[in-house]
Chain A
């Protein structure tokens, strides 16, 4: 066996799902281990000090002081740093807390939850301080490449590892999801001023969803048009609309605004859930990388 490339992985504010995606490579992982050596990973080792490695994978968003420190350590000790998964790339679901004050988040979690009795916010110095805003990895350190997805496809992780080992940068696809999704589009291809449907539905409201037909043409809000391809359209194959976990395409500044732009001629989005939950639909995974990445506070100079 030749010299293997050293790899470290870690997770910050995350669910661990991206590491599970790595494990989902199953037997292929064994082949990968012939060319790479995992020196540090919360999955399999309990090493305290981060070793010097060629490639580092970081899962999760940066949400507390500890994350910042660990991330900086990772950056210093690695040649290439990969933001693994949607939270690391765009802030992800965890980033939704940016719409609240950090203090309110703590109070809600430790005091106000319905099952809590006489709770109090932990104040020990041992507990890392919650950052005011959740940030994607690239807002803290330089990132060499992104592997988005919630979680990324195991094959995407594998391809990223293989190309980095061969000294090349993994190349992300750049188009939106529609061509990859492959559902049939008819109404979308007819220049017509009327909306495609009269109302917009949540998938659960429909008795039948045609698995071959574009979701938008069935009156279901699908974020596919404003979302980067490359995920294999997993959700759509499972007959569920895209929720946008792959983030915006490189041509867009943000997903939410771009979807609003597109919907003007497609669906009566003004009177539906988009309106009631504009963040949950348009910014579910990418709020921390949107033009307004957080709540604007009333006192000047306090945001940022």
Chain B
């Protein structure tokens, strides 16, 4: 496979902290190695596309900014989308986070930072090499919208979509429409307009029984005293207001993050104020500041704008996240069925193998880990990739201190470690980060492998209780870790060398602080053991 490596100086931040020309030389064997000033600048972006096109590479590693800069900023994915249009499969595009996770936290340690940067690039290269070509499914979006919550913002959004010719289903668990005081006077006409509109269907006193699908094509099962109703919608507006209980119920169906208080969260309150990690779902966040009316109305309008931009496209592309089941290994035990919180797995009664519904699968990887035969894999985060990544990172020889593998869940810890870099906090270079899609993707085998490859400790950052976007990834991780500690003990390895801590998704420096503290403790125990004062089993 021809791979291209695009190194970004990030406007000088990276070239100050890392020997970039040396790195570029190191990868001279690749089909394409280019250095750009800042790949988000229009000219540079254009140059990158032209270089990729001219070199004919089939995979691209973008080394520089954090993948979050692409995924969580406005139009951040433009560069990547264009690469996909040029024929590069989405699973063949990987990121090496040299800015937030190397250059910024290891300023002034140019040599070590360069060594670490090389390892992170190697890991990204392993990712494009190990990932299988992802399948793309295109759907024509339904011209209908589900509005969850007949709050003010929800009604504004409903009206917006009605005006655009969409059918709107308004669902609320309350059996009566809410009172909009103190804004009854301002909002009464809007409420009437929605109520009287022929394309609006109200379903009050309702419970969501099931919800699955993807942007443009969601299936919803709703029940109330009128009976069970199955509806198909193209997009969803979540406007629950302060309803904590309903949020908890819906969290089992909607694959979106929650904020520190456990309410549904948007991607970035400043640049993507209603968008969520699911393109087809917009959230109107609860608000307690001054002028609530204006806030709700603008957020309602923004949600219409944002969602309509997506749904007005004739076709919506979907990346199938889970790869095919290896039927030669699957004995239909049902573990995946039992494990999947999204009900994506079933056993095909005739063929006696497990099958995955791509419209239900969120790509968390819990079934991949749970499958006791290894018949499952994730297209973008395959088993081989993690084993190679652990092997690559394990090769780092720190000048001092203990080697820590820091496994970061994309939903929480990854952002946490980025934040640490951005705020000027530093931590030892021997803390080596590896992103996982979810705590539930952390296979017990990888933990054992990490110690085997020479890591002194493994630290896992997991979402706080009740905050996992995949519902149970953090719970299953804890359960597995408890048993893995027993395995470590049985082999004479100090079980304290595995630590798990939970972190809120949002900005906090606790991630690196915990890691640095852990590394310090490991170092102390290691030194004491050299003097014969403590027990230290080496891997």
Residues on A lying within 8 angstroms of B by beta carbon are 99, 174-180, 185, 187-193, 196, 224-226, 229, 249-254, 256-266, 269-270, 274-275, 278-279, 282, 290-292, 294-298, 300
Would you give the shortest CB distance from B271 to chain A, in whole angstroms? 35
Interface-side segment among B5-13, B187-195, B231-239, B370-378: B370-378
Q: Which of A192, A225, A254, A296 contacts B492 (CB 8 A)?
A: A296
Contact B372 A226 (CB under 8 A): yes
Interfacial chain B residues near A252, Cβ < 8 Å: 372-374, 445
Contact A187 B484 (CB under 8 A): no
Whole-angstrom CA separation of A260 from B476 in the bound complex? 10
Would you give the shortest CB distance from A285 to chain B, in whole angstroms? 15
The number of residue pairs between A and B whose CB atoms lie closer than 8 Å in the complex comes to: 179
Contact B372 A176 (CB under 8 A): yes
Interfacial chain B residues near A258, Cβ < 8 Å: 372-374, 444-445
Would you give the shortest CB distance from A262 to chain B, in whole angstroms? 4
Would you give the shortest CB distance from A183 to chain B, in whole angstroms? 11
B339 within 8 A of A: yes
* Contact A270/B335 with A174-B328, A257-B444, A262-B371 known, Cβ cut-off 8 Å: no
Whole-angstrom CA separation of A269 from B369 in the bound complex? 16
Interfacial chain A residues near B471, Cβ < 8 Å: 193
Interfacial chain A residues near B452, Cβ < 8 Å: 291-292
Q: Produce 1/0 per residue, B451-483, CB < 8 A to A.
A: 110000000000000000001100010011011
Interfacial chain A residues near B339, Cβ < 8 Å: 191, 262, 264-265
B332 within 8 A of A: yes
Interfacial chain A residues near B16, Cβ < 8 Å: none
Whole-angstrom CA separation of A260 from B339 in the bound complex? 13
B538 within 8 A of A: yes
Closest residue of chain A to B487, judged by CB?
A: A278
Contact B491 A260 (CB under 8 A): no
Interface-side segment among B95-103, B112-120, B341-349: B341-349
Whole-angstrom CA separation of A192 from B342 in the bound complex? 10
Closest residue of chain A to B440, judged by CB?
A: A264
Q: Which of A178, A253, A291 contacts B334 (CB 8 A)?
A: A178
Would you give the shortest CB distance from B346 to chain A, in whole angstroms? 8
B220 within 8 A of A: no
* Contact A265/B329 with A185-B334, A291-B449 known, Cβ cut-off 8 Å: no
Closest residue of chain B to A253, judged by CB?
A: B445
B539 within 8 A of A: yes
Would you give the shortest CB distance from B379 to chain A, in whole angstroms? 16
B337 within 8 A of A: yes
Whole-angstrom CA separation of A251 from B369 in the bound complex? 12
Closest residue of chain A to B535, judged by CB?
A: A298
B418 within 8 A of A: no
Contact B491 A251 (CB under 8 A): no
* Contact A266/B338 with A260-B480, A260-B487, A275-B486 known, Cβ cut-off 8 Å: yes
Interfacial chain B residues near A282, Cβ < 8 Å: 487
Whole-angstrom CA separation of A269 from B370 in the bound complex? 14
Contact B331 A292 (CB under 8 A): no
Contact A270 B482 (CB under 8 A): yes
Query: Can you list the 7 inter-chain pairs with the closest CB atoms, starting with the nearest?
Result: A251-B374, A188-B334, A176-B331, A178-B333, A175-B331, A257-B444, A226-B372
B443 within 8 A of A: yes
Contact A292 B335 (CB under 8 A): no
Q: Produce 1/0 per residue, B170-204, CB < 8 A to A.
A: 00000000000000000000000000000000000
Interfacial chain B residues near A254, Cβ < 8 Å: 445, 448
Residues on B lying within 8 angstroms of A by beta carbon are 326, 328-335, 337-343, 345-347, 352, 366, 369-375, 443-445, 448-449, 451-452, 471-472, 476, 479-480, 482-484, 486-487, 490-493, 529, 535-539
Contact A261 B331 (CB under 8 A): no
Contact A250 B329 (CB under 8 A): yes
* Contact A179/B332 with A261-B369, A269-B483 known, Cβ cut-off 8 Å: yes
Interfacial chain B residues near A294, Cβ < 8 Å: 491
* Contact A298/B373 with A99-B491, A278-B490 known, Cβ cut-off 8 Å: no
Would you give the shortest CB distance from B394 to chain A, in whole angstroms? 13
* Contact A265/B331 with A258-B374, A260-B480, A291-B448 known, Cβ cut-off 8 Å: no
Contact B490 A279 (CB under 8 A): yes
Given A225-B335, A264-B339, 20 more A-B residue pairs with CB atoms under 8 Å apart are A179-B332, A185-B334, A188-B338, A189-B337, A189-B346, A190-B337, A191-B340, A193-B471, A225-B333, A251-B375, A262-B335, A262-B339, A269-B479, A275-B482, A278-B487, A278-B490, A279-B487, A296-B491, A297-B537, A298-B536
* Contact A264/B337 with A257-B448, A296-B493 known, Cβ cut-off 8 Å: no
Contact B329 A292 (CB under 8 A): no
Whole-angstrom CA separation of A93 from B396 in the bound complex? 37
Interfacial chain A residues near B374, Cβ < 8 Å: 249-253, 258
Q: Which of B352, B483, B490 contacts A179 (CB 8 A)?
A: B352
Residue picked from A99, A175, A226, most chain B C-beta under 10 Å:
A175
Interfacial chain B residues near A226, Cβ < 8 Å: 372-373
Contact A225 B345 (CB under 8 A): no
Whole-angstrom CA separation of A89 from B206 in the bound complex? 59
Whole-angstrom CA separation of A293 from B200 in the bound complex? 65
Contact A178 B331 (CB under 8 A): yes
Contact A251 B486 (CB under 8 A): no
Q: Which of B491, B535, B536 contacts A292 (CB 8 A)?
A: B491
Q: List 23 A-B contacts (CB under 8 A).
A: A179-B352, A185-B333, A191-B341, A193-B341, A196-B338, A225-B335, A225-B372, A249-B372, A251-B326, A251-B375, A257-B443, A258-B372, A260-B480, A261-B369, A261-B371, A263-B483, A264-B476, A265-B335, A265-B338, A278-B486, A295-B492, A297-B537, A298-B538
* Contact A261/B444 with A249-B329, A249-B374, A252-B373 known, Cβ cut-off 8 Å: yes
Contact B480 A189 (CB under 8 A): no
Interfacial chain A residues near B480, Cβ < 8 Å: 260-261, 264
Interfacial chain B residues near A262, Cβ < 8 Å: 333, 335, 339, 370-372
Interfacial chain B residues near A260, Cβ < 8 Å: 444, 480, 483-484, 487
Contact A265 B333 (CB under 8 A): no
Whole-angstrom CA separation of A176 from B375 in the bound complex? 10
Interfacial chain A residues near B448, Cβ < 8 Å: 254, 257, 290-292
Contact B487 A292 (CB under 8 A): yes
Would you give the shortest CB distance from B364 to chain A, in whole angstroms? 13
* Contact A178/B332 with A252-B373, A258-B374 known, Cβ cut-off 8 Å: yes
Whole-angstrom CA separation of A189 from B352 in the bound complex? 12
Whole-angstrom CA separation of A252 from B449 in the bound complex? 13
Interfacial chain B residues near A259, Cβ < 8 Å: 372
Whole-angstrom CA separation of A19 from B248 in the bound complex? 60
* Contact A291/B330 with A296-B538, A298-B535 known, Cβ cut-off 8 Å: no
Contact A188 B335 (CB under 8 A): yes
Whole-angstrom CA separation of A261 from B439 in the bound complex? 12
Q: Which of B329, B345, B476, B539 contacts A191 (CB 8 A)?
A: B345
Whole-angstrom CA separation of A178 from B77 in the bound complex? 44
